[in-house]
Amino acid sequence: MRWNGQTLVAEAPTALPGLARLNNLVRSVQTPEFAGITFHEVLAKSALNHVPGASTVMPFAWTINPYRGCSHACVYCFARPTHSYLEFDEGKDFDQQIVVKVNVGEVLERELAKKSWKHPAVALGTNTDPYQRAEGRYALMPSIIRALAGSGTPFSILTKGSLLRRDLDLISEAAEVVPVSIAMSIAIYDDELQQSIEPGTPSTKARLATVSAVRERGLECQVFLMPVLPLLTDTVEHLDRAFGMAAASGASSVVYSALHLKPGVRQWFFAWLEREHPELVSPYARIYAKGAYAPKEYREWLAARAKPLMRKHGLNRARPAGTTGGPSWSQAAPTRSAPGGFAPVGFAPASVLPSFGPVGDSQPMLF
């Protein structure tokens, strides 16, 4: 969907040094509905992204990212450094300069129709969120879902967006013909903290209601309690509340992991700490002194604290798919024609359906 009548921003090289050199930039749009955010509409040359080294680094080989940058503005988002590819920064630009692939559905349909496409599973939401706020206006996901289901391609969706509920009819239809996986990322169960560190996201309550809506459709929905923030969300009180609320929402299972601070994200996160929790700057510097991951000792301590609480809320019975805590698949066998009249062509075996984190790594890079 285009926003006719909205403010157009000149694509001058001095204003947009990276984007201005692209020959597929349609226009840049600002609208009062999204104050402070600029949407850069581009014509995508491809929709499917091949993940290099998927067999050893990531458990899925293909992804789709209809957006680059994310107005959810999660301080800890692991994808921030990817924005530098167009000379944007990892901070405010990631939150406010959003690249929109306005033709992604059309391009995807063509790619999936190629004889060379073998229908491996495709993951959405592994980089930036496909159901961020702009999706309410651009509505790119319905065409993506139809194309994947119509070609017989299994897919997974990981999101923080309650806008997923808009497409539940379509997702339910797709799940009848291809394996479909849904996971909702809900890390913070303290409203004040959630609005501070995830200022552009739906509330925790709204996301839990989305989990319930998915489950009411008979689909599995896993909750990703990621990241657990040391000294902020790793208390017994917070974890107990988190697991309890996830269980009450009907979540199929819950997986958790400690905060991961890769270069580019680390600086932005520490800037937030200095503003909001200056007393925690030194403790965090010690925890992450040796690298991007919380040390093994902390992860073991967190597991010892979390596992009894998961058992308490009956969440230990569900086993996440894959080795890294990726979501389970809602069903394994198709039963009827795909939406739009296309018959599924083939299906990936369960062993290659995508999970969301690095293989064999106890700290999935989801956040």
Res 267 pLDDT > 60 = yes
Classify 142 as helix, strand or coil.
helix
Q: What does the pLDDT read at residue 23?
A: 65
Q: DSSP secondary-structure letter at 177? A: T
Which of 159-163, 206-210, 340-344 is the least confident region? 340-344
In angstroms, the CA 208 to CA 148 distance is 26
Classify 151 as helix, strand or coil.
helix
- Return the number of other C-beta atoms located less than 10 Å from residue 271's C-beta: 13
- Return the number of other C-beta atoms located less than 10 Å from residue 103's C-beta: 18
Q: Give the pLDDT confidence of 79-102 residue by residue, as tens digits.
A: 888 877 777 878 888 889 999 999
- The most confident of the ranges 45-49, 140-144, 321-325 is 140-144
Query: Dihedrals φ, ψ of 9, to 5°?
Result: -105, 130
How is residue 246 written in tokens?
Answer: 């996830």
Q: What is the pTM of this model?
A: 0.83
- Mean pLDDT, the chain, rounded, equals 83
Amino acid type, 47: A
Contact 327, 222 (CB under 8 A): yes
Q: DSSP secondary-structure letter at 360? A: T
Rg of the chain in Å (alpha carbons): 20
Q: What does the pLDDT read at residue 343?
A: 35
Q: What does the pLDDT read at residue 358?
A: 32
Contact 346, 118 (CB under 8 A): yes
Mean pLDDT of 285-314: 96
Mean pLDDT of 218-237: 97
Q: Where do runs of H (alpha helix) occur along the chain? A: 92-96, 104-112, 135-138, 141-151, 168-175, 191-197, 204-216, 236-249, 265-276, 281-287, 296-312
Q: What does the pLDDT read at residue 127?
A: 86
Mean pLDDT of 193-203: 97
Q: What does the pLDDT read at residue 290?
A: 94
Which of 71-85, 156-170, 345-359 is the least confident region? 345-359
Task: Sketch the domain layout of the chain as residue ranges.
Answer: 112-121+130-352
Res 132 pLDDT > 50 = yes
In angstroms, the CA 42 to CA 21 distance is 12
Amino acid type, 63: T
Mean pLDDT of 189-208: 97
Q: Predicted confidence band at 24 (pLDDT cuts at 50, 70, 90)?
A: confident
Mean pLDDT of 44-66: 80
Q: What does the pLDDT read at residue 199?
A: 96
Of the candidates 118, 188, 114, 127, the residue with the CA atom closest to the CA atom of residue 153: 118
Mean pLDDT of 239-265: 96
Res 44 pLDDT > 50 = yes
> With 0-12 CB in 10 A as exposed, 13-18 as middle and 19+ as buried, what is 328?
buried
b/e for 7-17, b at 16 or more Cβ within 10 A? eeeebeeeebe
Classify 338 as helix, strand or coil.
coil
Where is pLDDT greater, at 239 or 357? Answer: 239
Res 324 pLDDT > 60 = no
In angstroms, the CA 103 to CA 252 distance is 34
In angstroms, the CA 218 to CA 176 distance is 11
In angstroms, the CA 36 to CA 95 distance is 9
Q: Where do runs of H (alpha helix) occur along 48-103? A: 92-96
| CATH architecture of the region 112-121+130-352 | Alpha-Beta Horseshoe (3.80)
Res 304 pLDDT > 70 = yes
Where is pLDDT greater, at 129 or 317? Answer: 129
Classify 42 as helix, strand or coil.
strand
Which of 24-28, 36-40, 308-312 is the least confident region? 24-28
Q: What does the pLDDT read at residue 21?
A: 58
Q: Give the pLDDT confidence of 100-130 residue by residue, as tens digits.
A: 999 999 999 999 999 999 999 999 998 899 9
How is residue 99 written in tokens?
Answer: 């690249």
Query: Dihedrals φ, ψ of 41, to 5°?
Result: -80, 125
